[in-house]
Structure 1
Amino acid sequence: MTVTRCSIRARADSCLPPILQKNAGYDPLASYDPIVLVAQSSNLMVVHPSLPVNSVQELVAYAKANPGKVNFSSGGIGVLPHLIGEWFKSAASIDIVHVPYRGGGPSINDLLAGQVQMTFEGTSVLLPLIRSGTLRALATTSATRIAELPNLPTMIESGFPGFVSTSWTGLLAPARTPGEVIDRLNTQMNEGLRSAELESALAKLSNQPLGGTPHDFTQLIKSDIGKWAPIVKGLGLKPD
């Protein structure tokens, strides 16, 4: 009997450290054999209610009229919300200022206090704050609108073609795992991901089940590396 040890890795775990660190200890493509994408969740753009904007385009116009006066927070240099914010800054050709914190909690706390004006963060974190009116959502970074906020436009609908960034979770095996093992695990996982019970459990975490082939997963990893590496380079963030 062959026993294969697999690991679950979110995108920030598997793609960003090798871009940001010289000695991350692994290569997201060479060190693992992708099995299947398990689930994904969206990131949302939110602003403090004191900011006089109700759409992404209004935010862009406000930032252009007030260069350097809009701050966006994140949980640190090189984390996903930071990179999404820098991507938006470049795509919109606006001057907004990144304010890094030591973790996502302090970042959100200062946004709630009005010390910073905007951020990008995961749906599960922001949804209660949006529904309570504490923060105002302007867009989702998913390719399509999300079920939790069906009236919230995507970044694509807001005038930014191709602006898609989701947080995914996937199952990987150690590199050079036999192909028949990968295929069997992929089949079993896809069957499980079609269950209503799992879909319901994931929905409670603002996640949607994915599935697909190992090739699909590999292409997504390559796409994310291709997306974030130029942004990291453009920021001058050199591997530690």
Structure 2
Amino acid sequence: MHRLRQVSGVDLQLVAYKGGQPLLTDLMGNQIGAGISVVSDYLVQHRAGRVRIIATGSPKRSALAPDIPTLVESGYPDLYGVSSIGFFVRGGTPQPLVAQLSMEITDVLRTPDVRTRLLEMGAEPVGGTPEEFRRLVLSERSRWAPVAKAANVRVE
């Protein structure tokens, strides 16, 4: 939301929430006018007409809601986020074990049941090598560090 405020020039009052459900409750109760959270948390209410999802913050349209445009498509080319879940191991873990774990995790992500369930939750399973994930983490960290600093965000 801070990044949206930066790029749009709109003066927004930012309120931190402890999760998507409290935010949704306040949004539906007209306590707040807008919010940002995970699309999958809001689809049921969106489809029922109780809230309106006006854009997603991902680089491309969500498989769960292909009818909803992205912020990029809405005129904000630098306003997107990549949310990822990864598996980490302790530093010094032998490379053959890391490679084996990576391969097995990628295989599991490709199974139809796991893939379907993750897609239903709004996650698009990708898989990949440990080095690809490392590059993604470092890239996102360097991309968002200035935004976090400007927003005075601290890790707790």
Contact in 1 for aligned 2:45/2:51 (Cα 8 Å): yes
Superposed structure 1 runs of 4+ greater than 4 Å apart: none
**SS of corresponding position for 2:136:** helix
Aligned-pair identity (%): 29
How far apart in 2 are the matches of 1:238 and 1:194?
36
Q: Which residue of 1 aligns with 2:109?
A: 193
How far apart in 1 are the matches of 2:153 and 2:85?
25
How far apart in 2 are the matches of 1:189 and 1:137?
33
Instruction: Summarize deviations over 1:122-144 as a string: whole Å, max 9, x none.
Output: 12211111111111111111111
Q: Which residue of 1 aligns with 2:6?
A: 90
Instruction: Summarize deviations over 1:170-218 as a string: whole Å, max 9, x none.
Output: 1111111111111111112222222212211212212211101111110
Q: Cα RMSD over matched residues?
A: 1.7
Q: Which residue of 1 aligns with 2:90?
A: 174
**SS of corresponding position for 1:147:** coil
Aligned pair in 2 of structure 1 residues 205, 103: CA closer, same or farther (>3 Å)?
closer
Instruction: Summarize deviations over 1:14-73 as a string: whole Å, max 9, x none.
Output: xxxxxxxxxxxxxxxxxxxxxxxxxxxxxxxxxxxxxxxxxxxxxxxxxxxxxxxxxxxx
Higher relative contact order (CA 8 A, sep 6+): 1
Q: 1:226 aligns with which of 134, 142, 153?
A: 142
How far apart in 2 are the matches of 1:230 and 1:224?
11
Displacement of 1:238 in angstroms is 5.3
- The alignment status of 1:99 with 2:15, answered yes or no, reads yes
Displacement of 1:167 in angstroms is 2.4
Structure having the larger proportion of residues in strand: 1
Aligned pair in 2 of structure 1 residues 168, 239: CA closer, same or farther (>3 Å)?
closer
Aligned pair in 2 of structure 1 residues 204, 236: CA closer, same or farther (>3 Å)?
closer
How far apart in 2 are the matches of 1:94 and 1:172?
38
Q: How many residue pairs get matched?
A: 156
The residue type paired with residue 102 of structure 2 is N
Aligned pair in 2 of structure 1 residues 225, 201: CA closer, same or farther (>3 Å)?
same
Per the normalisation by structure 1, the TM-score is 0.61
The residue type paired with residue 208 of structure 1 is E
Q: 1:152 aligns with which of 34, 43, 68?
A: 68
- The alignment status of 1:209 with 2:125, answered yes or no, reads yes
Structure 2 alignment gaps of length 5 or more: none
How far apart in 1 are the matches of 2:59 and 2:18?
29
Structure having the larger proportion of residues in helix: 2
How far apart in 2 are the matches of 1:116 and 1:173?
40
Q: Which residue of 1 aligns with 2:48?
A: 132
**SS of corresponding position for 1:170:** coil
Aligned pair in 2 of structure 1 residues 239, 197: CA closer, same or farther (>3 Å)?
closer
Per the normalisation by structure 2, the TM-score is 0.90
